[in-house]
Amino acid sequence: MGSLHFGDFQLMRGFPEEVVHGGVAAQTALVFEREKPGKSGLTVEPRAAMALKSHSEAERRRRERINAHLSTLRTLIPGTGKMDKAALLTEVISRIKELKTSTTEISQGVNVPADADEVKVEVEASLCCADRPELLMDLKQTLLALRLRTVKAEISTVGGRVKNDIVLTCEGGGAAAATGEYDTECNIFTNNVHQALKSVLERASSQPDFSAGSPLSGKRRRLSPPSFPAASSSP
């Protein structure tokens, strides 16, 4: 699938392919036209000519297949439309490498056993509501008041709505997870986190809407905006 709908970059490199087909090399092949019947009663030259013709046709099919695959590769990787064959393949291998590393990074990110025994407990919270100008600041200060440390944060907005995915630990909980400090520091109800986030939600609802007339019906993603993981706040 998806092989012939492309721009036919390398097939139309001059003539409409029939003219090329009866080109120079084909004529040199027809130069051997003689009258010499084979010993088996069958003329051998027409057979040889037919074999040669089918041979060249098979080769032409092979080239078409390969070039069709190259064209689909061009559609898969953006920006390679007018590239060289070799440059296209270079881009292909770089894409495969970076995609492979990114997938393995993500999937085995927290998935490889460490060499030391350890126990880690984190709180993963997500808040989804309509976007407000001061939402991020409010959220940040609320979490700060709970003495929680932000390990990871991911924010995405679509159609005026925002979703914040946060991973939290208690202060110093990362390194102290295997020690006794963790136990004394991390006495926070998940309850507390939940209630705090609900308070953020309520405060946001009591204020005027951020995007009044939102003309965005199309999808629009926004990954990790520069504002959220701001560490230092009001001292």
Kindly state the smallest distance separating residue 91's Cβ from DNA, in Å. Answer: 12
Kindly state the smallest distance separating residue 45's Cβ from a copy of itself, in Å. Answer: 20
| CB of 6 or CB of 210, closer to DNA | 6
| CB of 53 or CB of 147, closer to DNA | 53
Map the footprint of DNA across residues 51-90, applying CB under 7 A. 51-60, 62-64, 67, 84-86
Under DSSP, the state recorded for 84 is -
Kindly state the smallest distance separating residue 35's Cβ from DNA, in Å. Answer: 19
- Among 174, 176, 167, which residue's Cα sits nearest to residue 143? 167
Rounded to 10 degrees, the C-alpha dihedral 221/223/226/232 comes to: 130
Part of the chain binding DNA (CB under 7 A), chosen from 22-30, 96-104, 138-146, 186-194: 22-30
At position 66, the amino acid (one-letter code) is I
158 contacts DNA (rule: CB under 7 A) = no
Contact partner, 53, from DNA, a copy of itself, none, Cβ < 5-8 Å per class: DNA
As to burial, measured by CB atoms within 10 angstroms (0-12 exposed, 13-18 middle, 19+ buried), residue 40 is: exposed
Q: Report residue 131 as tokens.
A: 């976007």
Sign (positive or negative) of CA dihedral 85, 91, 93, 99: negative
Among 33, 105, 208, 215, binds a copy of itself (CB under 8 A): 105
| CB of 31 or CB of 114, closer to DNA | 31
* 13 contacts 7 by C-beta, under 8 angstroms: no
